[in-house]
Structure 1
Amino acid sequence: MGKLFGTDGIRGQANRYPMDAITAYRLGQAVTHVVSRGKPAGHRVRIVIGKDTRISGDMLEGALEAGVTSMGGNVELLGVLPTPGIAYITESMRADAGFVVSASHNPYQDNGIKVFAGTGYKLSDEDEHEIEDLILGDGLDALAAAPHDLGRAHRLEDAAGRYTVFLKNTFPRELSMEGVKVVLDTGNGATFQVAPAIFRELGADVTVIHDEPDGYNINENCGSQHTEDLRAAVLARGAQVGLAFDGDGDRLIAVDERGQEITGDQILVVCANQLHDEGRLANDLLVSTVMSNLGLTLACEKYGYKHHAAKVGDRYVLEDMRRLGANLGGEDSGHVIFLDHHTTGDGELTALQVVATMLKTGRTLSDLAAAMDVFPQVLVNVEVNRKPVIDTVPEIVAAIGRAETELAGKGRVLVRYSGTQNLCRVMVEGPTQELTGHYAEAIAEVVRCALG
C-alpha cells in the first residue's frame, strides 16, 4: 500500500482500496487523533461530515463516523452539501476538522475524501503525512477510546440553511436579481437543493435542469463538464445566463445569453476586471495556473494588473494567493477562490459574483467575457499505467521538443499527470485549432505507446 493523499484528498473506485470502508474507518481514527493534540484537557474532538449524491457516500460517511467515534470524537452529520459548504460549516461551528465525501467531477463509480482543518482550509502536507503513517501503520488500535469514552453522532438539520445564508450575504445588498432569467445545471450533485434556493431567494427567475440525483447519475452528461443541455436550455428560455456546477459544487462553468460556453479563465478575467475597477483586487494580482490559456495572461497585461501562474491544483493556487497577498485566483476548470469571502473554491459563490458583475455593469455576459481572447487550446487525456517523471521518458521529451520547435514561439506545450486519476494530460496552445489539435494528438500518441 502506497501514498494515500493526492493533490485533492484521497480518491479511488468506490468499495475498492483506498475508497473502501476499512480505510475510511482508519482515516476517521487517524484524523481524530491528529487534531486532538494540543487541545485543552477535557476537550472532546468535534468533526463534521458531508457528502455529495453518489451511492457510495452513505457507506463512506458511516465508516468515517465509526472511526471518529471510536477515538472518542463527536460527529456532526451534514448530509448532502457542496464541498465549500462543508468547509464553511467546519469553520463557523469551530469544529476541529471536516470530512467531504466526494469525487468532485468524476463519475459515480469513483469517490473521494477531502479533509478540512478547523480553519476551513485543507490540511497541511505535514498533517497528511502523519495521518498516512497512522493509517498504514499498526498503532491505531492501541489509541482507541475506552468504552465509556466513545463519541456520539448527531445530524445537523439546518446545515444547508446556514450555508445558504452565508452565500446570500456575499451578494451585494444594493443589487436585485428580479427579472433576471437564470438556468442552473446542478449536475445531479451536491448543489441540487442549495443553488436553486439561493437564486430564487434573491429574486431570480430560475429554471433548473439535472436536479434529480439517484446515486448513479451525478456528472453524467451534465454539469460543468457537459454544458450541451444547459446551452440549449438558455436559448430555449431566453435566459441571460446559464450556470453549471460540478458534482461537489466547487466549480462553475457559465453559458452566456447566446448559448456560448464561458471558460473558467474567462470567468476569472470578468471578476478580476470588476474588482480592479472597484479598487478591490488585492495587490493588483490575479493568480491562476500554468494550464490557463495564454489569453488570460494577455488580458491581465491589457487591463493593468499582474498575473501569477501557480502549479496545477487548487491547493497550490490557494498557497500562492496567501503567500502573495492575492484575493482572487483559480483554474480554467472553473474552480475560483474569492479569498475575501471564503477559504476554498466555491461554484455557487462564483456564480453570484458573475451575476453581480452583470448587474453592476449593465452588460451581457458575452460582452464581459469578450475582454479575454481565447487562444486555440486542445487538451487530450491519456490513460496511463504508470507515472514516471516526464523528463525521464526520452520519447515523450522528443515529441514535446518537436512540437515546440514547429510552434516557434506561437504557442506552448504542457504535459503533466492528473493528481487524482491515472491520466496524463497533454495540453497544446497554438495559432489555429487545426495545428493545435495536430500537435496535441501527436504527443498523446507517443504517451500512449510509452506509458499505456
Structure 2
Amino acid sequence: MGLFGTDGIRGTINSHPITPEICLKVGMALCFLLRRNLSHKPKILIGKDTRISGYVIEASLTAGITSMGGDVYLLGPIPTPAIAFLVKSMRADAGIVISASHNPYSDNGIKIFSNNGFKLTEELEKEMESLIEAKDFPSKRPSAKELGKAFRIEDAQGRYVEFVKSTLPRDANLEGLKVVIDPANGAAYKITPILFHELGAEVISINDKPDGLNINKECGALYPDSLIEKVKQTGADIGIAHDGDADRTILVDEKGNIIDGDLILTVLAGELKKEKKLRKNTVVATVMTNMGVENYLKSSGIRLIRTKVGDKYVVEEMLKGGYNLGGEQSGHIVCMDYTCTGDGAITAVQMAHIVKKNQIPLSELVKEIPRYPQILRNIRIPENLSKGAVEPVLRKLYSIASSLEKKINGRILIRPSGTEPKIRIMTEGENLQKVEEALKEIETIAYEEIRKKSGEGGI
C-alpha cells in the first residue's frame, strides 16, 4: 500500500489515502499499537493547520482512537513543532499533526510523533500499514466501558509560545527590531506574531486571515514576493515566512533578499561555533545544500554531513553522531539543544536574536557566504504511470547525470518526490550557462521518456 512517504501520509482530500475511512483506520491502528505496551489508556494529541479538510480528518482520527480505547486531546490549529514539544510536555503517548505542509489546500496529510517528540519510526509505520490493510483488523474491539474520550485543550498555543521564548537568554528581547511576518494563512497565523510582539519587536503581519482555502496560496515560504514587497515598503529589519504548518522558515533581509535554509544554517553554525556550542564543529544538511555553503563552512572549520532529502533523515544523522544543528535548504532547521524537529518559530526567533545581539543587519550576516548557481525543476509524473514504469526513466536520467556532472564540474541531483507525483531535478556548478545547459538536456530526455511510458499505458 505504501501509505507513508518521507513525511507521513499525504494526498488529496477524499482521494486515497486521505479519505475518512483510511484516517479512521490510522487512528485505530495507532491506538491499538500503543495499547499493547501501556498499562493505561493511550493519551494522543491532535493538532492541525488551517485547511478546511482538517475537520474531516480530525473527526475521523478521533473516532478511530476513541473507538479503540484511547483518549484524544484536541489542540486546534497549531504548528507541527508545537506537537513535538507538547507531546513531551503533556506526557502524552503520541501526537498527530493534520497537515500537508507546503502543499495547496486541496491536499492534506497526517504526521505522527512518538512520546519522545520524534517522528514515528519506519518500523512502526510499516506495522500500522499492515494493520490498516488487514481485513480482520480489528478482530476485537473494546467494550463501551473501555471507550476513550475527547477533550479540547484551550491554552496549547500559549504553552508553545512560552516554550519558544525560553530558547532565548532570560534577559533577551527584540526591542528596536521591525519584523514582517507571513504565516502563509497557516498554523502559525496567531502564534508567530504574538511571539514577536511579546519579545518587544514591532510586528507587521500579512497573510494571517485563514479561511480554509487560502493556506500557502501565493504566500509564505514558497511564495515570498508579497513579503519582500512589504519589507521594502515598511523599512523592516527582517521578513519571516513560514509554510502551512510552520515547521520551516525562510527569511528576507532588510534589502529584500531571500535568506534560505542554507544561509540560516550557516549563520547559526557560525554563531554556535563562536560560542563554543557547536557539537563536534559539525552541521548536518541534505544533498540539496549548496556547494558554496559547504566550502564556506569548511573554511570556517565546520564539517558538513549530507543526508537524503527530508528532515527526518537529518534528525536521524544528528542523533547518530551526537550533533546539535542541522537543516534543509527549504528552511527546516533543527536546533537539537531545544527541540527534535524543524521549528519555524524557533528558527525565526534565534535569527532575530543574532541580528539584535550583534547589531548587524541581516544582509551583512550572510554577505560573505558564496553560493554556486543552482537550478531546480519539477517534472510532473502522469497519473497513469506506475512506480514500476517510472523506475527505468529514473535509471536513464541517473546515467546521463553522471556524465554531465563531469562536464559542469558540479552536482546533478535527480530524485522522485516523497510527497508529490513529481521527479525533482537540481543542477549546480560554478558556471551558470553550463548548469542551465545540463538542466535543459536532462529535462528534455525526462519528458521524452515519460511520454514513451505514457504511450505504453504506464505498465
Normalising by the residue count of structure 1, what TM-score does the alignment of the two structures yield?
0.96
Q: Distance in 2 between matches of 1:397 and 1:450?
A: 13
| Superposed counterparts of 1:11-410, under 5 Å | 11-40=10-39, 43-384=40-381, 385-388=385-388, 393=394, 395-407=396-408, 409=409
Which residue of structure 2 lines up, in the alignment, with residue 447 of structure 1? Answer: 446
Q: Distance in 2 between matches of 1:288 and 1:65?
A: 36
- Partner secondary structure for residue 157 of structure 1: coil
Cα-to-partner distance string for 1:300-328 (whole Å, 9 max, x where unaligned): 11111111001111110000000011100
Cα-to-partner distance string for 1:165-192 (whole Å, 9 max, x where unaligned): 1011112223221111000001000010
Gaps of 5+ in 1: none
Which residue of structure 2 lines up, in the alignment, with residue 419 of structure 1? Answer: 418
The percent of aligned pairs where both chains have the same amino acid is: 44
- Partner secondary structure for residue 75 of structure 1: strand
Q: Distance in 1 between matches of 2:424 and 2:443?
A: 8
Q: Distance in 2 between matches of 1:179 and 1:59?
A: 43
- Closer, same or farther in 2 for the Cα pair 1:106/1:425, shift >3 Å? same
Per the TM alignment, residue 364 of structure 1 is displaced from its structure 2 partner at its CA by 1.0
- Partner secondary structure for residue 30 of structure 2: helix
Are the aligned partners of 1:99 and 1:114 in contact in 2 as well (CA < 8 Å)? yes
Per the TM alignment, residue 148 of structure 1 is displaced from its structure 2 partner at its CA by 1.7
Are the aligned partners of 1:296 and 1:372 in contact in 2 as well (CA < 8 Å)? yes
Which residue of structure 2 lines up, in the alignment, with residue 7 of structure 1? Answer: 6
Letter in 1 for 2:254: E
Cα-to-partner distance string for 1:14-36 (whole Å, 9 max, x where unaligned): 11111000000000000001112
Q: Distance in 2 between matches of 1:35 and 1:59?
A: 23
Q: Mean alpha-carbon deviation: is it higher for 238-247 or for 369-378?
A: 369-378
What is the total number of aligned residue pairs between the two structures?
447
Q: Mean alpha-carbon deviation: is it higher for 362-371 or for 380-389?
A: 380-389
Q: Distance in 2 between matches of 1:434 and 1:111?
A: 38
Letter in 2 for 1:443: I
Q: Distance in 2 between matches of 1:397 and 1:18?
A: 30
Which residue of structure 1 lines up, in the alignment, with residue 455 of structure 2? Answer: none
Per the TM alignment, residue 387 of structure 1 is displaced from its structure 2 partner at its CA by 4.0
Per the TM alignment, residue 283 of structure 1 is displaced from its structure 2 partner at its CA by 1.2
Are the aligned partners of 2:397 and 2:414 in contact in 1 as well (CA < 8 Å)? no
Normalising by the residue count of structure 2, what TM-score does the alignment of the two structures yield?
0.95
Are the aligned partners of 1:380 and 1:427 in contact in 2 as well (CA < 8 Å)? yes
Q: Distance in 1 between matches of 2:333 and 2:348?
A: 10
Q: Mean alpha-carbon deviation: is it higher for 394-403 or for 145-154?
A: 394-403
Cα-to-partner distance string for 1:32-69 (whole Å, 9 max, x where unaligned): 011122222xx111101000001100000000000000
Cα-to-partner distance string for 1:341-379 (whole Å, 9 max, x where unaligned): 001110010001101111222211111112321110000
Gaps of 5+ in 2: 452-459
Cα-to-partner distance string for 1:230-283 (whole Å, 9 max, x where unaligned): 011011111110000000000100000000001110000000000000000011
Q: Distance in 2 between matches of 1:251 and 1:325?
A: 22
- Partner secondary structure for residue 142 of structure 1: coil
Per the TM alignment, residue 392 of structure 1 is displaced from its structure 2 partner at its CA by 7.0
Cα-to-partner distance string for 1:92-124 (whole Å, 9 max, x where unaligned): 111111110000000001000000011110111
Q: Mean alpha-carbon deviation: is it higher for 363-372 or for 249-258?
A: 363-372
Are the aligned partners of 2:326 and 2:333 in contact in 1 as well (CA < 8 Å)? yes
- Partner secondary structure for residue 100 of structure 2: coil
Letter in 2 for 1:275: L
Letter in 2 for 1:74: D
Per the TM alignment, residue 87 of structure 1 is displaced from its structure 2 partner at its CA by 1.4
Cα-to-partner distance string for 1:379-438 (whole Å, 9 max, x where unaligned): 00011134457677554244314422321x2x1111011111111110000223333222
Q: Distance in 2 between matches of 1:390 and 1:23?
A: 27
Per the TM alignment, residue 84 of structure 1 is displaced from its structure 2 partner at its CA by 0.4
- Partner secondary structure for residue 4 of structure 2: coil
Q: Mean alpha-carbon deviation: is it higher for 153-162 or for 381-390?
A: 381-390
Q: Distance in 2 between matches of 1:371 and 1:350?
A: 21
Are the aligned partners of 2:177 and 2:356 in contact in 1 as well (CA < 8 Å)? no
Q: Distance in 2 between matches of 1:139 and 1:372?
A: 57
Letter in 2 for 1:105: H
- Partner secondary structure for residue 414 of structure 1: strand
Are the aligned partners of 1:399 and 1:446 in contact in 2 as well (CA < 8 Å)? no
Q: Distance in 1 between matches of 2:162 and 2:402?
A: 52
Q: Do structure 1's residue 428 and structure 2's residue 427 form an aligned pair? A: yes
